[in-house]
Amino acid sequence: MAEMLSDLARLRRETRVQEQLFETLLREKSSASTEELEELADALQTEEHRQASLHLVGLKGISERLKVYRERSDDSRARSMVRIAEEIFDIFGSWLELFQNTRLRILQLASARDPHPLSPVFTNGNEAVAYLDRLMK
Amino acid sequence: MNPRRVQTAPTFDRAFQKLPRELQQATREAIRHFVDRSHENAILPERKTGLRGVWTFRVTRGIRVFYVQRRDKEAGKVSSVLFHVGQHDDYRTILRHRP
């Protein structure tokens, strides 16, 4: 149990470190071109999906064990295991969301730095659809 | 209810053009509903969790449009500027449902 709690603390620390690394990356890329930022966002998405597939498989195993622990609600050790499992879900949720939100911040920055003008303002759905139809051709 | 004022950024246009045809069609319909404020319960415009100033609405279960709101100084009105469309996984929901 102590080892698991120590692992959870380590995972929390790693998430905070990753968050700081992403903040540094965003500062470093604040004057990058739109094209460079879009490439970076694509690379980050690939990594996000790799991490998600890696972790979601592991979490499935924890989920199966969690069912068993939940049924033993009168067992204090089982209740501790449920709390630990929920903490693991929370940590990995934060971890994956961090990748996703960083990617979106990069895309937002790419959009702000794009020298090309915005589309006209659409005030009815048909105007917007006509514009998108032209993009689809 | 008044329609929304909506613009697309070039980054959105490029992301839209990269989508497969069927997702382009779905995005087109979602944007129609977004501008006209029809089917709000289907597209679910909402703030993006953990990202200040970014909003999102739903195209399909896994695809969202992302936008910011900007005040047009000349018109004195708020416009929604769509800057991206693409994959979005609600990891907290996925984990809550425990695959």
pLDDT tens, position by position, for chain B (99 residues)? 789 999 999 999 999 999 999 999 999 999 999 999 999 999 999 999 888 899 999 999 889 999 999 997 777 889 999 999 998 877 766 666 654
Chain A (6-35) residues lying within 8 Å, Cβ to Cβ, of chain B = 34
User: Contact A86/B95 with Cβ under 8 angstroms?
Assistant: no
pLDDT of residue A56: 80
CA angle A47, A50, A51 (to 5 degrees): 85
Distance CA A81, CA A83 (A): 5
Chain B (3-62) residues lying within 8 Å, Cβ to Cβ, of chain A = 3-14, 16-17, 21, 24, 27-28, 31-36, 38, 48-51, 54
Pick the closest to residue B9 from A96, A2, A131 (CA basis). Answer: A131
Distance CA B23, CA B30 (A): 10
Top residue of A18, A104, A109 to mutate, by most chain B CBs within 10 Å, is A104
Distance CA A12, CA A29 (A): 26
Q: Least CA distance to A62: which residue of chain B?
A: B98
Compute the count of residue pairs across chains A and B with CB atoms less than 8 Å apart: 126
Q: Which residues of B touch A124 (CB under 8 A)?
A: 3, 35-36
CA distance B9 to chain A (A): 5
Q: Which residues of A touch B87 (CB under 8 A)?
A: 45
- In this complex, which of A66, A96, A133 lies closest to B91 when CB atoms are compared? A96
Helix (H) or strand (E) holding B64: strand B63-72
Structure tokens of A135?
Answer: 């993009």
Distance CA B87, CA B66 (A): 10
Place of tokens 């105007």: A127
Distance CA A129, CA A35 (A): 26
Residues of chain A predicted below pLDDT 70: none
Strand partners, B78: B71
What share of residues in chain A are helix, strand, coil (percent, to 5)? Answer: 85, 0, 15
Backbone angles phi, psi at A33, to 5 degrees: -75, 165
Place of tokens 């004195």: B76
Asked if the Cβ–Cβ distance from A92 to B91 is below 8 Å, we say: yes
pLDDT of residue B99: 42
B1 residue type, one letter: M
Contact of A61 with chain B, judged by CB distance below 8 Å, is answered with no
Distance CA A117, CA B61 (A): 30
